[in-house]
Amino acid sequence: MEDLVQCVPNFSEGRDRTTLEAIVAAARAVPEVWVVDWSGDPDHHRMVLTLVGPAAATRDAALAAAAEAVRRIDLTQHSGQNPRLGAVDVVPFVPLGATPMELCIRTAREFGARAAADLNLPVYFYEEAATRPERRNLALVRGAGFDSLRHVPLTAERAPDLGPSHVHPTAGAVAVGARGRLLAININLRSDDLDVARAIARAVRERDGGLRGVRALGLRLPSRGHVQVSINVTEPDRVPLYRVLELVRAEARRWDVPISGTELIGALRLSDLLETARYSLGLHDLREGQVLDNWFSERLNLE
Amino acid sequence: MEDLVQCVPNFSEGRDRTTLEAIVAAARAVPEVWVVDWSGDPDHHRMVLTLVGPAAATRDAALAAAAEAVRRIDLTQHSGQNPRLGAVDVVPFVPLGATPMELCIRTAREFGARAAADLNLPVYFYEEAATRPERRNLALVRGAGFDSLRHVPLTAERAPDLGPSHVHPTAGAVAVGARGRLLAININLRSDDLDVARAIARAVRERDGGLRGVRALGLRLPSRGHVQVSINVTEPDRVPLYRVLELVRAEARRWDVPISGTELIGALRLSDLLETARYSLGLHDLREGQVLDNWFSERLNLE
């Protein structure tokens, strides 16, 4: 298949189970699309949905989920940890297998056109789907987010690529993009010291001298009573997961703070697991072909 | 597929590249069968071939490889580290996916009948395929091996299940079995102290108080100038690879001997990699469904 894509929409709701399940159900109802993973986080007040399927079907599943989110999420009632642009905050399309990035860019543009027309959302295209160089960077697109855009006209440098020149009253705007794969992990610290989480985040993220393509944020998790380092690895083939973990562990030791556990948000690749095993088991020459599951189709019948 | 099996024949030749490649080629020539892995070790003087396919085709590929081995390997000229029963030393059949063990037992018996009739080898059935309780244990079946059987009639408790009542003059006998999956790993020590390798082997193997279902042997590797702990994990779903490694590391620290690397002989399962990642990355809740490769068939086109 040369049109297989992954779509990882993020929604600004992580608490109301009914809303989360309604969004998942809307995506699941679209044929040919697999819901690989979904999780809501009450502290991030965010839901991440991971879809895999043919580009067109996956686009439609993401649109169905987005429509449900716009219907149910009211950002004026909202307070979360992550900066957020809208109820449907960000919708990235990622190539799988032999799928070219161009198809993901085209699919992102189609999603944007429908989100503007059917959901009345201002649409900003980012990263590979960006229409202007300054919009490649999602952080810049998002800016100060919904609250800063609520009462101003979306004109000049704030003008959306598509849709109305004002944010949706309850659902804000949406960033739609095409990008390479990314790994999202949360590392939980057995500590309530936000300064430590922030110091570790600074130590590992590229911006402050850390690992290439790594973004990190220190957060407080009130519902769990501890702090967390939330990390995006944007070049996982260059920067293996184990190396990020070891660096975080080294910095955590500096502050004498134990790591209680790690969460993977969304999906990873078999290649990530192989590199982890090569490192942690010393299996330097382990080959993908040695994974028996690759040789029969049992693994494909997960649903 | 309900008739998919794995077959892992071991041959008593690890040095002559021509022989190794001829054996692999013979197996490869059989349609519908995948050669997942093969490796020869000059010190073990042994080759391990890993085949996957429908039971009948895999049986035939193993037979073709065995015929090639009998033709080319002369045990009277042989000196190796592992105890060995024959040129085709051991031929285990392992269920894959939904395949029942009964099919592997039947396939082992068919292989044995052909090995006796076509290759003139005494055949001993072991483990699940054993015809007598005392032959379930491969070590007991193998006994002192070829050299002890060469000049004696194979009668009474030495009588084979099938085939002649004397060993093949150059190829000895063969043990054919059906069993659950096992993991074979070699852990190389940066040391030439055989006593240390043996002490570590004793510490980790079940027989001497170590981990359940773990078999281990300390070996000298003259060609590489260091020693090795060679390990079989026979219950890998109960005893994860990482735990065996950590135990070996702990014992190696006791002797202040560094581990230079680990080799996996044959194949492992995705579940082994997941458990390794759960442990070494702290991803306690990592699910198989989060491995993207499970959701599309790219992985199946390895050949």
Task: Answer yes or no: do A263 and B283 touch at CB < 8 A.
Answer: yes
**Surface-to-core class of residue A151, CB atoms within 10 Å of its CB (0-12 exposed, 13-18 middle, 19+ buried):** exposed
AA letter at A153: P
pLDDT attached to residue B294: 84
Question: B253 or B79: whose pLDDT is higher?
Answer: B253
Rounded to whole angstroms, how far apart are CA atoms A300 and B150? Answer: 50
Q: At B296, list the tokens.
A: 């599309």
> Is a pLDDT exceeding 70 seen at residue B80?
no
The whole-number pLDDT of residue B101 equals: 98
Tell me the pLDDT of chain A averaged across its residues: 94
Interface of B with A in 31-60 (CB under 8 A): 34, 36-37, 52
pLDDT per residue as tens digits for the range B254-289:
999 999 999 999 999 999 999 999 999 999 999 999
Q: Is B69's pLDDT higher than 60?
A: yes
Give percent of chain A with pLDDT exceeding 90.
Answer: 86
- For A208-249, the pLDDT digits (tens) are 999 999 999 999 999 999 999 999 999 999 999 999 999 999
The pTM of the full predicted model, rounded to 2 decimals, is 0.91
Question: What secondary structure letter does DSSP report for A276?
Answer: H
- Specify the pLDDT at position A1: 65
Confidence of residue A299 (pLDDT cuts 50, 70, 90): very low
Residue A9 has pLDDT above 60, yes or no: yes
Q: Which residue has the higher pLDDT, A142 or B271?
A: B271
Q: B151-158 — which CB contacts under 8 Å span 24+ positions?
A: B154/B122
Largest CA distance in chain A: 58
> Does A76 lie at the interface with B, CB-CB under 8 angstroms?
no
* Tens of pLDDT, residues B193-222: 999 999 999 999 999 999 999 999 999 999
Considering only the beta carbons, identify the residue of B261, B276, B297 that sits closest to A280.
B276
Residue B296 — pLDDT band, cuts 50, 70, 90? Answer: confident
Contact with chain A for residue B184, Cβ under 8 A: no
- C-alpha triplet A294, A296, A298: angle, nearest 5°: 105
Contact B149, B167 (CB under 8 A): yes
DSSP state for residue A39 in the 8-state scheme: E
Cβ contact, residue pair A268, B292, below 8 Å: yes
Element (H, E) at A231: strand A226-233
Tokens of B37: 């892995």
CB contact, 8 Å: B270 with chain A? Answer: yes
Shortest CA gap B98–chain A (Å):
9
Burial label for B106, CB within 10 Å (0-12, 13-18, 19+), is: middle
- Mean pLDDT, rounded, of chain B: 94
Q: pLDDT at residue A301 above 80?
A: no
- Average pLDDT, integer, range A181-200: 98
Rg (CA), chain A: 19
Cβ separation of A286 and B302 shorter than 8 Å? no
Report d(CA A61, CA A59) in Å as an integer: 6
Q: Retrieve residue A216's tokens.
A: 């990190």
pLDDT band at residue A2, thresholds of 50, 70 and 90?
confident
Closest CA of chain B from A300, distance in Å: 5
Pairwise CB contact (< 8 Å): A290 & B268: yes
Q: Do B270 and A293 touch (CB under 8 A)?
A: yes
Structure tokens at A34: 């697999």
Going through chain B in order, the beta strands assigned E by DSSP cover 4-7, 10-11, 34-41, 46-54, 88-95, 123-127, 174-178, 183-189, 214-221, 226-233, 259-265
Residue that is written with structure tokens 């068919």 in the block = B110
- Model confidence at B143, in pLDDT bands (50, 70, 90)? confident
Residue B95 Cα, gap to closest chain A Cα (Å): 12
pLDDT at B299 over 90: no
Residue A82 has a pLDDT of 65
How close does chain B come to A79, measured CA to CA in Å?
A: 27
Beta-strand ranges (E) seen in A26-168 are: 34-41, 46-54, 88-95, 123-127
ipTM score here?
0.89
Condensed to tens digits (0 to 9), the pLDDT of residues A24-47 reads 999 999 999 999 999 999 999 999
Q: Kindly state the tokens that stand for B85.
A: 């029963």
From A253's Cα to the closest Cα of chain B, the distance in A is 16
**Cβ of A1 and B52 within 8 Å?**
no
Q: Copy the structure tokens of residue A41.
A: 């986080």
DSSP letter for B154, please. -
Give the mean pLDDT of B171-196: 97
B245 to chain A: closest CA residue: A281
At A156 the pLDDT is 87
A144 contact B CB<8A: no
